[in-house]
Amino acid sequence: MTAEPLIETRDLVKTYPVGGGDLIALDRVSLRVAAGEFAGIVGPSGSGKTTFLNIVGSLDTPTRGSARVLGERVETLGHRRAAALRNRHIGFIFQTFNLLPVYTVFENVEFPLLLLGLPAAERRRRVMAALERVGLADRARSRPDQLSGGQSQRVAISRAVVKDPALVLADEPTANLDAANSHQVLHTMVRLNRELGTTFLFSTHDEKVIGYLRRRITLVDGAVAADEVVTPTHGENGEAAP
Ligand SMILES: Nc1ncnc2c1ncn2[C@@H]1O[C@H](COP(=O)(O)OP(=O)(O)O)[C@@H](O)[C@H]1O
Ligand SMILES: [Mg+2]
């Protein structure tokens, strides 16, 4: 009687040919993530986190195994349908923010809506609402180089949620932020998860991020070493959990 998971991978394997052999980046990863989760893939550099997120986000394909994301089998989608799945339903947040430097904050957040072909008035309404959600409506006309790292990442969060996606994938979102900005960015994501019901899947090896997670999936050498429900030690207001 359980609803279909948002993400379900079965024996996901990704190998890269390296020096005559195969490097195993993902080793039979079988995971389910349900709608509304706030979960993290945790593990040291090289453990396969980005590879996993890229396959789930239909940016990459597995060598073997299957990944069903929002009802689609990503390994069989092909470029056009993969792009449609991403454009409509998946928001991405990267450690380097990936804002387009020559465009304003408004235009950066608007970009996913252009891909969806929404009319200008609707785009404007949604962009301003998404910037309000991250507290940056007053910076709509700024360029990315006029923002701090934390503000840049909040713009990237705003861009990720502006189309109201079911799923946001965040690859080491605090890797380039200091502690204060990391906490602010995480509070924003916790609040969006609660207010919008958006599912968040992170990759991280940052202890600050780990303190916010409700589920911690540990990858070691591309394999799931642990998958635990955890009580967040940090919440929306930075308070310790009771
Ligand atoms: N395009 C590639 N070609 C060869 N090896 C790769 C490629 N992408 C990733 N890898 C290797 O796969 C493993 C997992 O990488 P990655 O998913 O980026 O790990 P993480 O994000 O946890 O740091 C690493 O050993 C990495 O060097
Ligand atoms: Mg990575």
What residue segments make up the domains of the chain, in order of their start?
7-229
Ligand 1 pocket residue status of 50, Cβ below 6 Å: yes
For residue range 227-242, list pLDDT tens digits in order. 999 998 887 654 544 3
CATH topology of domain 7-229: Rossmann fold (3.40.50)
Q: Cα(233)–Cα(68) distance, rounded to whole angstroms?
A: 31
Q: Tell me which residue has its CA closest to atom 26 in ligand 1.
A: 46
Identify the residue whose C-alpha is closest to ligand 1 atom 17: 48
Q: How far is the CA of 51 from the centre of ligand 1 (A)?
A: 6
Q: What is the pTM of this model?
A: 0.94
Query: Tens-digit pLDDT profile for the chain (242 aa)?
Result: 456 899 999 999 999 999 989 999 999 999 999 999 999 999 999 999 999 999 999 999 999 999 999 999 999 999 999 999 999 999 999 999 999 999 999 999 999 999 999 999 999 999 999 999 999 999 999 999 999 999 999 999 999 999 999 999 999 999 999 999 999 999 999 999 999 999 999 999 998 888 999 999 999 999 999 999 999 888 765 454 43
The Å distance, Cα 49 to ligand 2 centre, comes to 5
